[in-house]
Amino acid sequence: MTATDWIQAFAMVLLVIVTAIYAWRTFAISKGTQRQADASVEMAKEMQNQRYDTLRPVIDIEDVKPGPPTTRVNNQQTTDEQKISANFFECVLRNYGAGAAIDVYSPQQHSNVKPDSQRIGNIQAKEYKEMVTNAGGPAFIIARKIGNQWFLVAYYRDVYGRCFESKRSVNLEDTIFKIGSLKHRKLDKQKDSELINEIWPPSDAGGNTND
């Protein structure tokens, strides 16, 4: 090979190396830009959640009392599960959060025959609402079975349409009434979609976003 051939071959190899380095650097910059974009999206979501949480409602179920004996299973010896499912509870719903609880919903009982799932309306921040019928008498919340436990439950939304659940477990051991600590969570739009659509059908005014 002549000197010219060697120079051309060397130039070709050098060009291939430079092209490979350029391609690698372009790829690295692209990945870095994507990471920055993803981080910016996550930061924006976090800031949005922080802004939403400044108006997050938190409902507690307080002053819980078993309903009158006439709502029991004829005062017969029954299993704990039968006792709880046949018992209804007077209570007060209190919103300890910084924002209003919208479209509050809790299973209630207005007669000893057939349960009536009832919408309670709105509870403003730092306010409470006693459970009463339209006639002014006490309304009894029904214990709802979730998994292997029974709970008194309230579902509600915030001003942004996010959906929440507050619940307290209830147990009856002989004549002793026990209530568990408050559990509060934001419902997941995907995992809890069936429950959300049952309580707030998409056709309802405002729909349900739960972002």
Residue 16 is which amino acid? Answer: V
Stated pTM of the model: 0.65
Nearest 5 degrees, angle CA 53-CA 55-CA 56? 60
Burial code of 35-58, b = ≥16 C-beta within 10 A, e = fewer?
Answer: eeeeeeeeeeeeeeeeebeeebbb
* Residues ≥6 apart with Cβ < 8 Å to 181: 168
pLDDT in single tens digits along all 211 residues of the chain: 677 766 777 678 777 787 878 778 777 777 777 777 677 777 777 777 777 888 899 999 988 877 665 444 444 544 544 555 456 787 889 999 999 999 998 876 544 434 444 678 899 998 888 766 555 556 677 777 777 788 889 999 999 999 999 999 887 665 667 888 999 999 998 999 998 998 888 865 455 555 6
Instruction: Please tell me the distance from the alpha carbon of residue 149 to that of residue 146, in angstroms, as a whole number.
Output: 6
